[in-house]
Amino acid sequence: MELVDSHCHLQFEKLASDLDGVLSRAGAAGVNRMICVGTDLEDSRQSAEIAAKFDNVWAAVGVHPHEATKFLKDPQSPKILNKLSILPKVVAIGEVGLDYYKSQTPPDVQQEALRAQVEAGLPTGLPFIFHVRDAWTDFWRIFDEHEGLRGVIHSFSSGRKQLDAALNRGLYIGLNGIMTFTRDEAQLESARRVPLERLLIETDAPFLGPAPERPSICEPRHVAVTAEFLAELRGESLEDLAKTSTTNAIKLFGLK
């Protein structure tokens, strides 16, 4: 069985301090491909460096909405992002988006940073990894302003309305350990309804370790636990879910 962790942060200290061990444990769990996702310009560069070092790691470069103020402060940021996007093994722009949940970054600042990154990233032809939390109306408005956007909604944890909105726009849906411990039936129902051909599995490591383990440090190997949970939840075989979600990730991100 082969799995892809379509969203992790290997550059974060909790994982970077034992990177060889993290990757070894992932391989033992059948997780043979990982996408290391940036959250600001500096750690996006680190993500690309890690991807260049390991055959089974690829990178995404982008600025999380919580870092929007910092991104906009430097007028060269979009050009820097564009240069990062052409580094070897960079396969996506992300994570970018909007997050209004207990955020100290004003919505208008987040929106400006998102637009700037979309406009910088679109010419590359790369897919986007979108982070959206409590900001769907503004996100869809900005999304629909631009033609040619494709990618995945990372860490999806909303209900049927937003699931349908994402699917109707051709986006993939990334599910992670949240599904193993949520008590929100609307979230679980969405997880059941994601078409298998649009499903990606991720960890968001080092965060969101899945139940029942709920480790203090989540690792890419834990994508296998989430896969097992989702297969049972959805009434599918683990083999089919693993095979198709892996094919989806390879197709979307071009993982050679």
Q: pLDDT, tens digit, for every residue of 24-57?
A: 999 999 999 999 999 999 999 999 999 999 999 9
Query: According to the model, what pLDDT value does residue 256 have?
Result: 78
Count of helices and strands (H, E) across the chain:
12, 8
What's the whole-number average pLDDT of the chain?
Answer: 97
Residue 102 has pLDDT above 90, yes or no: no
Residue 139 has pLDDT above 90, yes or no: yes
Q: Are strands 151-153 and 199-201 parallel, antiparallel or unpaired?
A: unpaired
CA distances from 178 to 75, 81, 224, 225 (A): 36, 30, 14, 12
Cis amide bond preceding 95, omega within 30 = yes
